[in-house]
């Protein structure tokens, strides 16, 4: 059995207001609308995850859910431009994320985050390099350390 996706369900009597909040903040579009339920979509696929926590880190409450974005500063600007209530200000955390919390119209605390300084290269490019190194290590590495060869491969794409 494989988990194919996990969907965050937000209970609210203000469907239009909550839909507008997420559409404005994340540029999401309606994928399904039955009146009693609306599903918004980003058009991207992501890894399925569930986080289990007793606190939100940095002595913050556990958010109701988290959304990773490609540009945290742009998303924070959208949130403040729309006067959405910021619960925890834009912060660089010691574990490598830049994030903020916002409260949606249904009262949910949303952790919005981006990983910082991990890599300037796409995951697809890094996977391609790793595959190249793993397919024939001795021939590929030419007796160099894997770290040396990896750095050369990455540098050749800059």
How far apart, in whole angstroms, are the C-alpha atoms of residue 28 and residue 33?
13
- In 29-104, the DSSP E strands lie at 29-33, 38-41, 65-68, 86-92, 97-103
* Per-residue model confidence as pLDDT tens digits over 23-52: 999 999 999 999 999 999 999 888 888 899
- Integer angstrom CA distances of residue 147 from 30, 119, 123, 144, 151: 44, 15, 17, 8, 6
Given a cut of 90, is residue 139 above it in pLDDT?
no
Contact 88/101 with Cβ under 8 angstroms?
A: yes
pLDDT at 39: 96
Closest by alpha carbon to 100, among 74, 124, 125?
74
Question: Is the pLDDT confidence value at 136 over 70?
Answer: no
pLDDT at 134 over 70: no
- Span 108-131, pLDDT tens digits: 999 999 998 755 666 677 667 767
Cβ–Cβ under 8 Å, residues 87 and 33: no
Mean pLDDT across the chain, nearest whole number? 87
Per-residue confidence (pLDDT) for residue 18, from 0 to 100: 98
Check pLDDT > 60 for residue 138.
no
What's the DSSP call for residue 103? Answer: E
From 73, 63, 23, select the one nearest 43 (Cα to Cα).
23
Pairing of the two strands 65-68 and 109-115: parallel
- Please state, in angstroms and rounded to a whole number, the distance separating the CA atoms of residues 42 and 59: 30
Structural domains in the chain plus CATH codes: 15-115 (3.10.180.10), 123-155 (no CATH)
pTM of the model: 0.71
Residue 14 confidence (pLDDT): 96
């Amino acid at each position: 059995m494989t988990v194919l996706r996990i969907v965050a369900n937000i209970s609210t009597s203000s469907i239009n207001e909550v839909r507008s909040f997420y559409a404005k903040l994340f540029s999401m579009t309606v994928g399904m609308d039955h009146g009693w339920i609306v599903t918004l979509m980003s058009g991207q696929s992501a890894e399925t995850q569930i986080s289990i926590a007793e606190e939100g880190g940095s002595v913050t409450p556990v958010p109701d859910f988290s959304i990773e974005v490609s540009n945290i500063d742009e998303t924070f600007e959208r949130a403040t431009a729309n006067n959405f209530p910021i619960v925890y200000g834009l912060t660089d955390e010691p574990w490598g994320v830049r994030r903020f919390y916002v409260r949606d119209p249904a009262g949910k605390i949303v952790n919005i985050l981006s990983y910082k300084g991990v890599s300037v290269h796409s995951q697809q490019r890094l996977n391609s390099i790793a595959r190249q190194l793993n397919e024939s290590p001795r021939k590929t590495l030419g007796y160099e350390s894997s770290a040396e060869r990896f750095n050369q491969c990455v540098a050749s794409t800059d």
